[in-house]
Every structure is written in structure tokens, then in C-alpha cells.
């Protein structure tokens, strides 16, 4: 693995120059920077962490290392506990929960340099350079700070980003899609998210100086950067997803804007058709809906993938609901659509997912993570346009509701969704 030590050495040497232009002594060498960190394991440190997209763009987040304890990845109000990490005087390596991506680093004067591997062991690599600087460190290169954004802002008054925005991604193209931006601003600090008709971009946090802003998050799967400008309640920006995708977006303040009804996007082609399927369980045994709908129970069917962050938020909620409703005449069934498309290759990821969330309801295998293939598995539906999708059936097997997508705890609609669904489940359990 590459540890980018020559690169980091140059960054640190550049970072030793103060903003006043006075150059600091350049006595540090790679040898002195690589000295052992005898107190590292026992030390509590908060890092400004970054994934590098390119020379102009990085994805910031916070990494907290407790003394002799766990690590936490922090995105705004989200705090992800790292359950699998190894630290010694030279290295800190850890695996993100749920998605099992890894960060492997060397410790350089208490700071970290290494890489993020999104798909460990996969034939097709997806890796990004990773850096983390102790928040108390004076050796932070300017491109890893807000310095350039502050300089560009000059004496401009700080724009107001807080509130609700009507958003369009990839405007004026055939790939255009609507969204809502909802943000809270405290001085130069911004938190919030973008909601689409199929899910949200989870917990975003960032800064605004003058008319320029950025928002970012990292959760082990998502590695997002949103950046742009605001002028006269009009927003223009660019969305970068890791190193593989970018698209423009535009927005305007609109407190009354709403997205399409998630209960109307996916539906039965024939209102009188029966929802059914025949899929294998994780042991390869064929199962039908009738096999699972025992004792005349109502059923909640969750179509999801273990790779999907919105599915993760939904699964957390459904696992809690199942404990409440399993003795109230409602069965839950999950259908997993996975990256590799073969049960023997995807089974470990599903088993790990089940263990992580403590899922007690049965999980079936749908096949490869493809909306087209998922739609073919359920031909009675117009189409599957989102992972996740939830289908509610009554005791007679009749479809009561189909909910497309999932806007989770980072959004303002999450609590309302919970109330709506709990009311439906209470009615179905009666």
C-alpha cells in the first residue's frame, strides 16, 4: 500500500509557512517526522480528517480518538462508533461498520496519512488518499483548511444559507432530478442535508464564508462534497461523490416546495393483482411470500441492499419496530439486492449486516443490486426505482401501501414518516 510519505513531507514543509508569508525553519525531514509516537495509543486526539478527491478538492470530516478507547467518525450531529480498529506506535487502521471499508494509516508526528479502501479485496479498486491532522497541530497545509475560502470571501457579508431550498441536480439535462435542501446556519457553521424522492444525502456539515460554502460527509460508503456560492437567495454549486462522479446543481429559497408523494411512485400495474415472489433464503432454500405469511399475519416487505446508506438508516428503524410488532400479527421480510449478484459471494456481507443490526426477521436474497433486475423480480409492480422500497400487505395479502425511498434521521420529515408508518402498522396489527 502507498502511504504518500514524500507527499506528506512536502505538505508539512509547505504548511510550516505562516499566513503572513514568513517561512518557518525547514529542519524537519521524513526521518524526524517518522519518529515513534510512544504515547499515541493512550492519547485522546480529535482530528480534522480529509479524503482527497484531487489537488483542489478534499472531503472533510472529524475523527475522534478516545484515550485507550474507541474511535468515532463525526459528520455534524452524526457520530459513528468504530468497532474494529488496531493502533500501535506506528499505525492506526480501522474498518467502518456496516460497509466494511477500511482506512489504513501511518502515524507521522501524531498526524495520520494513508488511504481509504472502499472495496477491500475487490477486483476493481476504489481507493482515496486520507489525511488527518490533530486539531491542535500547527503543521496543517493551507489546502486542508478554510483559509482559501476565507481569503476569497474578503470583506463580503456572510450569505444566509439556513432554511429550505428548491434544488435541481444536473439542471437542463435528461438526467435532471429534484431535491430539497434544508440547512441550519450558526455563524459560519452549516449543517443539514439534501432530500431527493428516493432518499437523503445523510448528515452533512461544513462552512460558509462570504458567498462561498462547502458541505461534506463520510460514513464508510458515502464520501460526499457539495460546494458552491449563494447570491440573492440563489444557489449554484457542484456535487462530487468520491473521485468517480460530479454534477452541477442549482437552488433557490422556497419554504413551500415539496417533492413527489413517496407512496405514489411505485404501484401495482393492476390494482387487483396479488403481490408475490419466490426467492431463496440465505441457505439457498426457495421461499414464497405464502411460506412467510404464517398464521394470516400482515407483512412488511423491505427491499434493500447492505451497501446502501439510506437502507442502513431504515434497517435500524425496522429492527426496532420488529421487536415491537412481531407479537402483534405482523411479519417483516427483507429482500437483499447485493453488489456481486451471487449468493455465495454476497452471503458474508448480508450475514455481517444481520449481526451488526441484530436483525431477527427473515432475510431473502434478491440477486444483483440493480433496479432493473429488482423490477423483474416483482413484475406486478410498475418498477423499483429506489433501494430501499417498502411494501405493506394486509392479512389477505392485499397491498395496502408502497413507500419508495427513505429520508432518514438527518431530515425534517423523518419523525412524520415514523408516525405515519406506525399508524399503518397499528391498523394492520389490529
pLDDT tens, residue by residue, 70-83? 999 999 999 999 99
Residues 282 and 424 in one domain: yes
Low-confidence ranges of the chain (pLDDT < 50): 1-7, 9-36
End position of a domain, from candidates 253, 270, 302: 253
In a domain, 262, yes or no: no
- CA dihedral of 16, 22, 27, 33, whole degrees rounded to 10: 0
Residues 308 and 343 in one domain: yes
pLDDT of residue 37: 57
Locate cell 463520510: which residue? 218
- Its domain, for residue 19, covers 5-145
Residues 64 and 192 in one domain: no
pLDDT of residue 123: 83
Q: What is the CATH number of the domain that holds 198?
A: 2.40.128.120
Residues 361 and 283 in one domain: yes
CA distance 358 to 197: 28
CA distance 407 to 416: 10
Amino acid at each position: 500500500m502507498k502511504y504518500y510519505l514524500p507527499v506528506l513531507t512536502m505538505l508539512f514543509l509547505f504548511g510550516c509557512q505562516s499566513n503572513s508569508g514568513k517561512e518557518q525553519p525547514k529542519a524537519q525531514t521524513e526521518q524526524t517526522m517518522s519518529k515513534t509516537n510512544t504515547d499515541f495509543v493512550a492519547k485522546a486526539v480529535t482530528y480534522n480528517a480529509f479524503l482527497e478527491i484531487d489537488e483542489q478538492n478534499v472531503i472533510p470530516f472529524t475523527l475522534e480518538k478516545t484515550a485507550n478507547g474507541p474511535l468515532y467518525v463525526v459528520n455534524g450531529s452524526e457520530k459513528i462508533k468504530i468497532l474494529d480498529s488496531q493502533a500501535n506506535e506506528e499505525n492506526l487502521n480501522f474498518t467502518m461498520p456496516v460497509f466494511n471499508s477500511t482506512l489504513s494509516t501511518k502515524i507521522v508526528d501524531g498526524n495520520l496519512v494513508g488511504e481509504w479502501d472502499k472495496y477491500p479485496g475487490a477486483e476493481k479498486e476504489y481507493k482515496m488518499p486520507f489525511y488527518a491532522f490533530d486539531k491542535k497541530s500547527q503543521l496543517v497545509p493551507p489546502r486542508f483548511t478554510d483559509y482559501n475560502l476565507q481569503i476569497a470571501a474578503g470583506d463580503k457579508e456572510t450569505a444566509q444559507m439556513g432554511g429550505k431550498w428548491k434544488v435541481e441536480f444536473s439542471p437542463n439535462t435528461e438526467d435532471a432530478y429534484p431535491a430539497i435542501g434544508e440547512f441550519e446556519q450558526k455563524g459560519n457553521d452549516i449543517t443539514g442535508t439534501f432530500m431527493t424522492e428516493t432518499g437523503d444525502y445523510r448528515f452533512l456539515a461544513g462552512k460558509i464564508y462570504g458567498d462561498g460554502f462547502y458541505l461534506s460527509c463520510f460514513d464508510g460508503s458515502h464520501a460526499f462534497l457539495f460546494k458552491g456560492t449563494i447570491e440573492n437567495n440563489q444557489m449554484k454549486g457542484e456535487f462530487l461523490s468520491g473521485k468517480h462522479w460530479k454534477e452541477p446543481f442549482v437552488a433557490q429559497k422556497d419554504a413551500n416546495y415539496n417533492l413527489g408523494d413517496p407512496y405514489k411512485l411505485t404501484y401495482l400495474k393492476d390494482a387487483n393483482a396479488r403481490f408475490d415472489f419466490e426467492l431463496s433464503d440465505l441457505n439457498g432454500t426457495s421461499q414464497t411470500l405464502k411460506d412467510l405469511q404464517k398464521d394470516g399475519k400482515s407483512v412488511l416487505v423491505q427491499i434493500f441492499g447492505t451497501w446502501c446508506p439510506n437502507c442502513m438508516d431504515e434497517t435500524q428503524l425496522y429492527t426496532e419496530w420488529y421487536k415491537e410488532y412481531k407479537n402483534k400479527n405482523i411479519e417483516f421480510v427483507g429482500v437483499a439486492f447485493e453488489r456481486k449478484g451471487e449468493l455465495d459471494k454476497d452471503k458474508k456481507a448480508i450475514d455481517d449486516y444481520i449481526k451488526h443490526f441484530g436483525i431477527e426477521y427473515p432475510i431473502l436474497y434478491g440477486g444483483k443490486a440493480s433496479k432493473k433486475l429488482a423490477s423483474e423480480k416483482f413484475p406486478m409492480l410498475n418498477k423499483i426505482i429506489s433501494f430501499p422500497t417498502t411494501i405493506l400487505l394486509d392479512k389477505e395479502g392485499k397491498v395496502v401501501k408502497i413507500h419508495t425511498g427513505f429520508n432518514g434521521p438527518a431530515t425534517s420529515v423523518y419523525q412524520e414518516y415514523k408516525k405515519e408508518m406506525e399508524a399503518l402498522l397499528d391498523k394492520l396489527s389490529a
